[in-house]
Amino acid sequence: MRPEESVSYDKSGYKEASADNITVKTKPFNKASFVIQMTLIALAALTLYGFSSFDYKDINIFEAISSSFSTVKTMFLEPHFNHFTFGEALMQVSITLGLAFLTTLFGAVIALFLGLLAARNLSSNTVSYIIKGLVAFIRAVPTVLWVLIFAVAAGLGSVAAVIGMTFHSVSYLVKAYSESFEELDKGVIEALRASGANWWQIAFQAVIPTSITYMISWTFMRFEINFAVSVAMGAAAGAGGIGYDMFMASAFYYDLREVGVITYLILAFAVALEIFAGRLKRKLKVTV
């Protein structure tokens, strides 16, 4: 026998179906769900149309797949150094790590003060909205575009890469820091103000110590992102590092085996960074 079911509606219009003390909420069909479904169907149709209208230039799809597998096999199963040594590769990776560390450091310091001003429990609503709106606009623009914008003034190279990556890191960390600052109970801040504490004392003796573990976690996350971006900027903006060597190996020398060994090297450093960050978070008992 099937368990008896009872159906009712809550105040928000959701239908509640309960059976054997189990309640499942379902949203009845309405205009919003219809629009979402039609949008998904339209996107799927446009995707299929796009694939069907591509100009494949008489390329045999099976031969292309076979060539792709052959290329991947050459890259990852036959890696070797040809145009530089392992020591030189480690030096280039250290340059990439340096770019990531520098941009994260600059971004964290600037974002700390802007995050305090963007937190609604520490600043006025007007200032908070202005800062959050500005950093939201900055985050909407990809990092590579900011690097190319600053390259107009500073020229292609590490300087433009550091400025552009720092610009984007600030916008990312301001959002993370301000949200962690806003989690502090307003009653604590009011009590400190009533006891005579000024804004700086509240910020550096109550707000930051309470949020320090979250700040460290978000900062390390941004450092990992900046490492990946630094690899791309080495090729796109001439910032140097292992990204530039990968660009030369793939586009100039067309040495797939060297591209493979560089990829393995980057992957090894990325995994090492993830392990180090994970251990640090566990040590600090971070729960983000």
User: pLDDT of 212-256, one tens digit each?
Assistant: 888 888 898 899 899 988 888 887 777 778 888 888 888 788 888
30 vs 144, higher pLDDT:
144
Q: Report CA Rg, the chain.
A: 26
Give this prediction's pTM.
Answer: 0.73
Q: Residue 187: is its pLDDT beyond 80?
A: no
Average pLDDT over residues 109-114: 92
Reported confidence tier of residue 13, pLDDT bands at 50, 70, 90: low
Report how far apart, in Å, the C-alpha atoms of 126 and of each of 33, 238, 263, 273 are: 35, 40, 47, 39
CA 113 – CA 102 distance, rounded (Å): 18
Q: Give the pLDDT score at 27.
A: 59
Residue 168: exposure state from Cβ atoms within 10 A (0-12, 13-18, ≥19): buried
Q: Residue 19: is its pLDDT beyond 80?
A: no
CA 214 – CA 209 distance, rounded (Å): 10
Q: Residue 108: is its pLDDT beyond 90?
A: yes
Q: Among 1-10, 37-46, 113-122, 259-268, name the one with the lowest average pLDDT.
A: 1-10
Q: Residue 57: is its pLDDT beyond 50?
A: yes
CA 156 – CA 148 distance, rounded (Å): 8
